[in-house]
Amino acid sequence: MNFWALVVHDSLPSTSDFCIDRARAGEPEGLAVLARRQTRGRGSRGRIWQSSAGDLSLSVLLRPGGAAAAAGCWALLAGLVLAETLARFAPDPAALRLKWPNDVLLDERKLGGVLIDSAGADRLDWLVIGFGANLAWAPDIPDRPTTCLAALGPAPEPEAVAEKLLTALAHWRERLDAGGFASLRAAWLARAHPAGTALRIQAGDREIRGAFAGLTERGTLLLSAEGRLHEVAAGEVLACPPDARLPSTTCSLA
């Protein structure tokens, strides 16, 4: 299945905002928008996503139907697709890891990420997936290390990465439609940090520290702490030292 209509712009404020406007105007699914330069890109939790010429700024419009709650599953699928695509251009594909739900890390430094926008109270009317990756340049972010593929060798062209990504996205959509979440979950876990990795989850003023224990059947994060499993449905995942002391009280963020 390859129904993508890829449109390339020299510059856009935001590829995702462009797709959202088209979605609200009734554009059918399959629109893919690549900007060679993005001036007002959006990241998670209201952050600005910095991108420069030579980096990947790509958004796609889908109308998958299904329950609105399935948007979380698409977040995992999009992260896996981005990781698999970037691995094709990395000298050591095994060095890439997924951080829940959809950040791509290279040697524990952020290489790329995904932003999901959707509409529909009960059923998904439309879904816009924004993919960003540091190909030629990595932004300087005060609270987290970043890297780019150019640090390891020649940077691939954004158009070449976009074409591979769209093929991978179509492939995983077919697999999700045919086999449900199980195969996606297994593939995601194969690229994630190993079980037992020490993590810290921040959600507002709440924090929980523990060890990565996998994903539930719904794609929420499992964290082992103080002899019990915590199901995490939302929050920012941060690494913490393996010997970090767990807080005396913990709370479920599900």
Whole-number pLDDT of residue 46: 53
Whole-angstrom distance, CA of residue 8 vs CA of residue 166: 14
> Same domain for 250 and 201?
yes
Please report where in the chains the tokens 């158009």 appear, as a residue.
159
Report the amino acid identity of residue 218.
R
> Same domain for 135 and 152?
yes
- At 221 the three-state DSSP class reads strand
Q: Which of 190, 205, 225 is the last residue of a domain?
A: 190
Into how many domains does the chain fold?
Answer: 2
Q: Which of 146, 169, 190 is the last residue of a domain?
A: 190
- Which stretches within the chain are classed as H helix? 15-24, 71-87, 158-179, 181-190
CATH number of the CATH domain containing 210: 2.30.30
- At 95 the three-state DSSP class reads helix
End-to-end CA separation in angstroms for the chain: 36
> Same domain for 42 and 160?
yes
> Same domain for 41 and 73?
yes
> Same domain for 213 and 100?
no
Interhelix angle for 158-179 vs 71-87, to 10°? Answer: 130
> Same domain for 138 and 184?
yes
> Same domain for 42 and 131?
yes
Q: Which of 165, 190, 215 is the last residue of a domain?
A: 190
> Same domain for 160 and 198?
no
> Same domain for 198 and 178?
no
8 Å CB contact between 209 and 170: no
Whole-number pLDDT of residue 43: 61
How far, in Å, are 84, 144, 188, 252 from residue 77 at the CA level?
11, 24, 8, 24
Q: Is 140 exposed, middle or buried (0-12, 13-18, 19+ CB in 10 A)?
A: exposed
Whole-angstrom distance, CA of residue 210 vs CA of residue 223: 6
pLDDT in tens, the chain (254 residues): 468 999 999 999 999 999 999 999 999 999 999 999 998 867 655 566 667 789 999 999 999 988 877 778 899 999 999 999 999 999 999 999 999 989 999 988 999 999 999 998 788 899 999 999 999 999 887 778 999 999 999 999 999 999 999 999 999 999 988 878 889 999 999 999 899 999 988 877 778 889 999 999 888 999 998 888 988 888 888 765 444 444 433 333 33
> Same domain for 132 and 249?
no
CATH number of the CATH domain containing 121: 3.30.930.10
Whole-angstrom distance, CA of residue 79 vs CA of residue 108: 16
> Same domain for 71 and 114?
yes
Q: Which domain holds residue 85?
A: 5-190
> Same domain for 206 and 247?
yes
